Amino acid sequence: MPEEPMDVYEAIRRRRDVRAEFTGDRIDDEVLMRLLAAAHRAPSVGMTQPWDFVVVQDRQRLDTFAAHVAQARRDFADSLPEDRRATFDPIKIDGVRESGTGVVVTYDPSRGGRHVLGRHTVDDTGVFSAVLAIQNLWLAAVAEGIGVGWVSFYSEEFLTELIGAPAPVRPIAWLCVGPVSRPAEIPDLERHGWRSRRPLAEAVHREHYGRRDGGAPA
Ligand SMILES: Cc1cc2nc3c(=O)[nH]c(=O)nc-3n(C[C@H](O)[C@H](O)[C@H](O)COP(=O)(O)O)c2cc1C
């Protein structure tokens, strides 16, 4: 961990989705457990704590998943029109092998029983809760100098089988977690011209959706 504790705003500013900068070394188990403890402190609907974390470090299993991701990447590339494909081609979308550690975050909708306080109206709040655990882990990783990359190029069925998750447990993310050589300043997708960050002013609405900066709805 860096000597000076990192301000939370600084961690938010520095956080990046990491694909290319993993050193190839495996994360220290004590550090990994601190990250998982941070994830486990997330808020959750009805205090269900619907997440679990499957740590994958076996080389063969990493290779199997990496090959599956590579195929999903090819399928996506093939679905693109020519100009978008040319932009997409140089973009790396995972560091499954190089990170040395995959953390599969799962969501269990049955956790908390039939009467989940607060999920009776919005069912998605269950998945939202598990995603908050991911964000906790991601920010804690920044403070530890560890890189995290979220991979979603996979079939849910394939990953469910790979980790042996029993129904109704769903894998909701594969996180590549490992030491990094240097933190990237600019998001990869921005650097490659795929998409760029929206200005905050465009995302903030006053009173009504579409009313920005006190003006009339757009
Ligand atoms: C739900 C989710 C799924 C994502 N899946 C992938 C992925 O499969 N491959 C990838 O390279 N990045 C993935 N990302 C990372 C985004 O591309 C990244 O967050 C975005 O480009 C902004 O960059 P930054 O996180 O460095 O700010 C995912 C992010 C989220 C939140």
Query: What confidence tens digit (pLDDT) does each residue in 118-133 have?
Result: 999 999 999 999 999 9
CB-side exposure of 123: number of CA atoms within 13 Å? 4
More confident residue, 213 or 131: 131
Three-state secondary-structure class, residue 98: helix
State which of 13, 14, 16, 17 you would mutate to test the pocket of ligand 1, scoring each by most atoms of that ligand within 8 A of its C-beta. 17
155-201 per-position pLDDT tens digit: 999 999 999 999 999 999 999 999 999 878 999 999 999 999 999 99
Decide if pLDDT at 217 tops 60.
no
* CB distance 179 to 25 below 8 Å: yes
Question: Residue 168: is the preceding peptide bond cis (ω within 30°)?
Answer: yes
For the CA of 151, the closest atom of ligand 1 is 8
104: part of which helix (H) or strand (E)?
A: strand 102-107
Structure-block tokens of residue 15: 């956080």
Instruction: Give the residues surrounding ligand 1 with Cβ less than 6 Å away.
Output: 16-17, 19, 93-94, 150-153, 187, 189
Q: Average pLDDT, stretch 47-73?
A: 98
- Rounded to two decimals, the pTM is 0.95
> Distance from the CA of 93 to the center of ligand 1, in angstroms?
8
pLDDT at 101: 98
> Distance from the CA of 209 to the center of ligand 1, in angstroms?
26
Torsion, Cα of 27, 28, 30, 31 (10° steps): -40
For the CA of 194, the closest atom of ligand 1 is 21
Structure-block tokens of residue 38: 């941070």
CATH of 8-185, one of 3.40.109.10, 3.40.630.30, 3.40.50.300, 3.30.1280.10: 3.40.109.10
Distances in whole angstroms, Cα of residue 101 to Cα of each of 28, 83, 126, 133, 175: 10, 34, 26, 18, 8
